[in-house]
Structure 1
Amino acid sequence: MPQSPTTTMTGACAVVDTLAAQGIDRVFGVPGGHTVPLFDALLHQDDVSLVLGRHEQGLVGMADGYNRASGRLGVVTTTSGPGVANMAAAMGSATTDTVSVLAISSTVATGLVGRNRGGLHDLNESIDIMRPVCRAVHRCRSVDEIPQAIADLIDRITNGRPGAAYCEIPNDLLVAEADVDIPAPVARKRTAPDSSAIDKAAAMLSSAQRPVIWAGTGTVISGAGDTLVRLAERLGAVVTTSALARGVISADHPNAVIRNPIKGEAVDAVIHDADVVLAVGTMFRQEDASQWSIEFGGRLIHVDIDPEEIDRSYPADLGIVADAGAALEAIERALPARDPAGPAWRARAREAQDDALAGLRSVGPTEMQAVDMLRAASPHDAVIVCDRCNLGYWAHRCMPAYEPRTFQYPLGYGGIGPALPQAIGAKMACPDRPVVCVIGDGGFQYTGSDLIVAVEHQVPITIVLCNNHCFGAIKAGMTRGYGHADIGCTLVNPNFQRLAEAYGVPAVRVHRIEDFGDALDRAIRSAALNMIELTVDLIDPP
C-alpha cells in the first residue's frame, strides 16, 4: 500500500520524497548540469540533508563507510556520464564487500538514450558501466515509475545479498511532472531456512566433538552475534571469523580465535581437523581462506543468503540458503541437548592462535607493535577504518575486534584510497564513537580531497597517514619476484604537514614507533579532526 495518496510532482521531487519515506536522512552528492533539479528539490525540504562531496569515488566511499558502521543504507547522487564512471571502482568495492549503497544518477534525455548523438555527457550506455559492479541496476522510463523503482532496488539490497544498486533517470524526467504514489518503507524480511535442512544440520552438530563455526559478514549484517555466541557455547565450538566479520564475537571470548586470513597455518590445521564446520554468511574469498589453500577435513555446513555462494569455492556436505541470523536461530532451536566439546579442543585452537601471533611478532616486531598501539589507543567501540597500506595490511592479518562493525577494510575489490571517505561516512553514521582512519601516502593521494568534507561538516576523525614514500606492497612484491623495485614504486609526496595546515587540520609527525602510541592516544582523546603522519618504515607482512 502506498504511504501517501497520489500526488502530482516532478521526477526530482519524487526521488527526494521516496528517499524520505524510506527513512533516508542524508545523501552524499555532487551536482552536475543534469541534476540541478534534484538538488533544488533537496533544498526545498527538511527530511533529507546533503553531504556535498568533491569526487564521486569519495561519495560512494562515504556512503560505504556509513553503511558498514551502522547498517543503515548509504545513498549517493551524481550526474550523468563522467559522474557515473567516477563511481565505478567504489561501487565495485561495496558490492564485493557486501555493503548496501544506492546510487541515483541522471543520464541524457529520454529521446537521446542509446542513440549516441554526442549530447552533453553522452557516450553509449552509461548504465552498462554500472552493471558489472552492482548487485542491481534500473533505468526509469517515466516519472511515475521512479518511486517504486527506488523502493525495489532498496528491497533488493536489503532483503537479498547486499551490495551496490544503481538507479538511472533521464534528465528530462527530473523536471517533468506526473501523478505518483510514494511506496511505504521497505520492510526487513529474513529468508527462512528449509526446516529439513536445519534438522540435518542439527543432527550433524549434535555429535560433533571438534566443532568450528566460521562466521562471515552475513552474521554481522543480520545482527546474529548473540545467537552465534550462545550456539558456540552450547557446542563448545571454536569460532573464527572472516576479516570483515571481526567483532561479531568479541576477540576476548574464550571460544574466539583470531586467524591470519592470508596465511592461517596452525589455525587452519585446527579447522582441517574439525569434524564439523558450520560456515555462516561467508563466501570464502581468497583473502579470507588463506589464498584458498585451507582444507576442510570434516563435514562442511554452508549457510548463505545467496544460493550462488554454496559450493562456489568449497563443496558443502549440506548447503542452506537463508539469512544468517534466521539459520542460526533455527539451528539453536533444533539442536538437542548435549555437552559442549571438551576444553582441550578450544585450548588447542588458542595455542594455534598464539603460535601464529608469535610468528608474526618474530617477523615484524615493529609492525606488530604498531598494531598493538593502534588497538590499545582505540576504545573497543571505536571504528577502525584501514586502507591497503603497510599498517592496514598488518591490521587485516591479526588485529582483534571486540564489537561488530568496528573494522573496515577494502577486501574484495581491493582498491586503495577508500579509507578516508569511509571513515568520514562512518563518523557521520556513528557520531558518538571514535573513528580512526589508517591510510598510506599513496592511497591518501587518491581521495585526499575528501578531507575538506570532514572540515566543512566538522567530522572529528583521527587520520593515521603512513608515509613511507612508496607503494610498499608493490615494492615488496616486485623485490620478491624480480629482485628489484626500480620502477613504479617510489613516490614523490607533498609536505603532508603543510597540506593539513592548508585544510586547517592539526597534524603531528611521528618518526619513532615508541612515540606512536602516546600520539595516537592524545589524538583520539582530543575528539577533534586531526592527523598523525607516521614516518616509521613498516615492512610488508608475510
Structure 2
Amino acid sequence: MMAQMTGAQALTRSLVREGVEVVFALPGVQIMEAFNALYDEPSIRLVLVRHEQSAAYMADGYSRTTGKPGVAMVVPGPGALNATAAVGTAFASSSPIMLISGQIESFNLGVNRGALHEIGEQLDVFKHLTKWCARTTESSEIPNLVHQAMEQLTTGRPRPVEIEIPWDILPDQTEIKLFEKEVHPKTRPEPGAVREAADALAHAERPLIWAGGGAREADLSHELLELAQALNAPVITTPEGKGSFPEDNPLSLGTIYNGHGPGHHAVPQADVILAIGSRMHMVPPVDWSPQSHQKLIQIDADPEEVGRNIPVTTGMAADGRLALQDLLAELGGKTRASRWTQGDIDTIRDATMAEIQAIAPLQVEIINTIRQELDDDAIMVAGTTEIGYWSHLAFPALSPRSYLTSSYFATLGYAFPTALGAKIGNPYRQVVATSGDGGFGYASSELATAVQEGINVVTIVFNNESFGASYADQENRYKARFIGTQIHNPNYAKLAESYGALGTKVSGPQELGPALRDALKADRPALIEVPIPNLVPPFQISPPGIIKRS
C-alpha cells in the first residue's frame, strides 16, 4: 500500500518493519533528516557515539552477541572512511552489520565538484569490505534498498552490507510503498553429501570436530553438543568459534590459536575430521595439519570456503545448523565406532593446559582470575593485547555468543566499543573487555557514550606503557633496538572518573580479582587499570610442529 512520506521516513519506517531496535550513529548534515525521522520512531533506540569507527564496532558487538543485524549510520566521506576499520573487522568475523552512509547530493554524484564530504566513488571503497553495497537516488526506492540489504544480511554467509542515500532525497516527499519483513530460508545440504558424511562419521574410530566462527553465527550449539555426544567425538574450536561448544564439557579439548593448543595432540590421531564454519587456514604452517590419508568433511555457509585451504573428502555449502540436524537424522541410531576414551581426551586437555601454563604463567593466572569472577554466560571481548591473545587459549567460554575476537583483522582498539554494543544487546549479561593501554586510547572518548547511555561495561586496561607486541618484537627480533613502541599514558582510572565512570587502579594483577568483583557490582560503567610487565604474545612463540620457511 502506497503512502505519502519523506525519504527519511521511508528509511526509518523500513528499519522498524525489518525488526531493527537500535541504531548507532554520529550526526552530520547529510543524515540530519534521518535523525529527525528517528525522533518519531520510539521503537528504535538511537545510541550517540563519539567516533564513526565506534558506531560500526558497536553494531558489530551487538550483532555477534544477539544474532540480530546491527545497524550504524554515518555521514559520507570522512565519516564512512572512519568506519572502515570496524566494517573490515565485521567482514573478517562474518558479522551481519548494516552501515547506512549518507551521500552527497544526487546531482553532484560523479561530477567531482568538491561537494561537502565527497569521495569520487564511495561504493568502490566498500566493495572489498562488504558482502554487498548499493545506492539509490530515488526516495521511493529506499524501502527496497533496506529490504535487499536485510536479505543479504540474513542469507548465506553473514557479512556486512553498506547502503548509501544522497541527502537531497531524504526530505523528498512522495508516494512510497513499504515492505514487510521476510524470513528467508536457509540452505540445506545436498542429501548425498549428508549420507556420505554420516557414513564416514559412523565408521570413524577417532572422529574429531573442529568448530569455527560459522558455528557461532549458525546458532548450532545444541546440535553440536548432541552430535559430539552421539559420535563420542572431542571438539576443538577456533578463537572465533569459542562458545559454540562449552569448554567445561568433557568432550572439549579447548581452542587452537596460531598453532598453539590441542591441535598437535589431537589432529594426527583423527581419522575423520568434521570442520564446521572454519576456513581451516593453518597459520603458521605446521606438520600436524590434516593430511591426505584423513577424511575431512567441511560444512560452510560460503561455497568459496569449502576446500579453499585444505582439500576435502566431503563438502557441504549449507547452513551449519541445518547440516548438523540432517547429519543427526541420517546417523539415527547407528552404532558409533569411536575408540576415544575419556582418559584419552583428558590427557590431551591436561597436556595442552600444562604447555600453555609453562610458557605463559602470568597470563594464565590473570585469565583464571577473570574467569572466576564472571557468570557462565558473561560476554568476554578479547582485545588485541597480550592478555586477549592468551585468552583465546586459556579462557574457558561456557555459553553461546559469549566470546568475541577481531578475527584475522586483529584490529587494535576494537574491544571497548565492541563491548559497548554487546552490552546494549545484552543488558542483563555481564560484559567485560580486555584492552591494552595502546588499544584503549583509540576509543577512550566512548567512556562518555557509556556514561550517557548507561552502558555498564567493565573494561580492564592492561598497562605496559607500550605497544606490547611490537615492543616484544623489537626486543627479540631486532636486538632491543626500541623505537616508536613506548607510549605515554594518562592515569586511565582518573580519566574514567572524569567522565563519570568508576575508575580503579590496582598495583598489580594480584589485586584484579577484588577490583573486578566490585566493578561488576557497580551500577555504572567501570574501568580497571592493571600495570603489567611486557609479555610475549603466542604468535611470537613457535608452536609445536612449525614448518619454517627457507
Q: TM-score, normalised by structure 1?
A: 0.96
Instruction: Give the alignment of 1:219-368 within 5 angstroms.
Output: 219-264=215-260, 267-285=263-281, 294-297=288-291, 298-342=294-338, 344-368=340-364
CA distance in 2, matches of 1:344, 1:25: 46
1:382 to 378, 382, 388: 378
Instruction: Give the alignment of 1:89-488 within 5 angstroms.
Output: 89-264=85-260, 267-285=263-281, 294-297=288-291, 298-342=294-338, 344-488=340-484
Instruction: Give the alignment of 1:28-43 within 5 angstroms.
Output: 28-43=24-39
1:174 partner SS: coil
2:413 partner SS: coil
**Which residue is equivalent to 2:10?**
14
Structure 1 unaligned blocks of 5 or more: none
Structure 2 unaligned blocks of 5 or more: 542-550
Structure 1, residues 245-264: CA drift from partner, whole Å, max 9, x if none? 21212111111110331123
**Is the 1:260–1:398 Cα contact (8 Å) retained in structure 2?**
no
**Which residue is equivalent to 2:505?**
509
2:246 partner SS: coil
Q: 1:355 to 1:256 in 2, by over 3 A?
A: same
* Number of equivalent positions: 536
Q: CA deviation at 1:192?
A: 0.8
Q: 1:23 to 1:261 in 2, by over 3 A?
A: same
**Is the 1:471–1:489 Cα contact (8 Å) retained in structure 2?**
yes
Q: CA deviation at 1:164?
A: 1.0
CA distance in 2, matches of 1:171, 1:294: 55
**Which residue is equivalent to 2:545?**
none
1:173 partner SS: coil
2:441 partner SS: helix
Q: 1:228 to 1:467 in 2, by over 3 A?
A: same
1:98 maps to a residue whose letter is S
CA distance in 1, matches of 2:479, 2:473: 9
Q: CA deviation at 1:325?
A: 0.3
2:447 maps to a residue whose letter is L
Q: CA deviation at 1:220?
A: 2.0
Structure 1, residues 97-137: CA drift from partner, whole Å, max 9, x if none? 01111011111111111111111111311221111111110
**Is the 1:245–1:404 Cα contact (8 Å) retained in structure 2?**
no
Q: CA deviation at 1:150?
A: 1.0
Structure 1, residues 366-394: CA drift from partner, whole Å, max 9, x if none? 11100100111111111011210121111
CA distance in 2, matches of 1:265, 1:218: 20
CA distance in 2, matches of 1:150, 1:331: 35
**Is the 1:262–1:397 Cα contact (8 Å) retained in structure 2?**
no
1:531 maps to a residue whose letter is L
**Is the 2:502–2:519 Cα contact (8 Å) retained in structure 1?**
no
2:362 maps to a residue whose letter is T
1:522 partner SS: helix
Once the two structures are overlaid, the 10-residue window that deviates more, 329-338 or 192-201, is 329-338
User: Is 1:23–2:14 an aligned residue pair?
Assistant: no
**Is the 2:437–2:465 Cα contact (8 Å) retained in structure 1?**
yes
1:38 maps to a residue whose letter is A
Q: CA deviation at 1:349?
A: 3.4
Q: CA deviation at 1:405?
A: 0.7
1:521 partner SS: helix
CA distance in 2, matches of 1:326, 1:131: 30
CA distance in 1, matches of 2:521, 2:429: 11
Structure 1, residues 166-191: CA drift from partner, whole Å, max 9, x if none? 00111111111222221111314211
Q: TM-score, normalised by structure 2?
A: 0.94
2:189 partner SS: coil
Q: 1:496 to 1:211 in 2, by over 3 A?
A: same
Q: CA deviation at 1:521?
A: 1.9
Q: 1:344 to 1:25 in 2, by over 3 A?
A: closer
Q: 1:266 to 1:170 in 2, by over 3 A?
A: closer
CA distance in 2, matches of 1:527, 1:380: 20
**Is the 2:493–2:503 Cα contact (8 Å) retained in structure 1?**
yes
Q: CA deviation at 1:45?
A: 2.6
Percent identical residues: 31
**Is the 1:236–1:346 Cα contact (8 Å) retained in structure 2?**
no
**Is the 2:102–2:166 Cα contact (8 Å) retained in structure 1?**
yes
**Is the 1:303–1:322 Cα contact (8 Å) retained in structure 2?**
yes
Once the two structures are overlaid, the 10-residue window that deviates more, 416-425 or 474-483, is 474-483
CA distance in 2, matches of 1:494, 1:154: 42
CA distance in 2, matches of 1:169, 1:239: 45
Q: 1:450 to 1:341 in 2, by over 3 A?
A: farther
**Is the 1:510–1:536 Cα contact (8 Å) retained in structure 2?**
no
CA distance in 1, matches of 2:197, 2:472: 44
CA distance in 2, matches of 1:485, 1:24: 51
1:262 partner SS: coil
2:520 to 490, 513, 524: 524
Q: 1:292 to 1:42 in 2, by over 3 A?
A: farther
**Which residue is equivalent to 1:539?**
535
Q: 1:129 to 1:342 in 2, by over 3 A?
A: closer
CA distance in 1, matches of 2:512, 2:525: 17
**Is the 2:382–2:405 Cα contact (8 Å) retained in structure 1?**
yes
Displaced runs of 4 or more, over 6 A: none
Q: 1:99 to 1:294 in 2, by over 3 A?
A: farther
Q: 1:395 to 1:538 in 2, by over 3 A?
A: farther
CA distance in 1, matches of 2:190, 2:423: 39
1:435 maps to a residue whose letter is V
Q: What is the CA RMSD across the aligned residues, in angstroms? A: 1.6
Q: CA deviation at 1:44?
A: 2.3
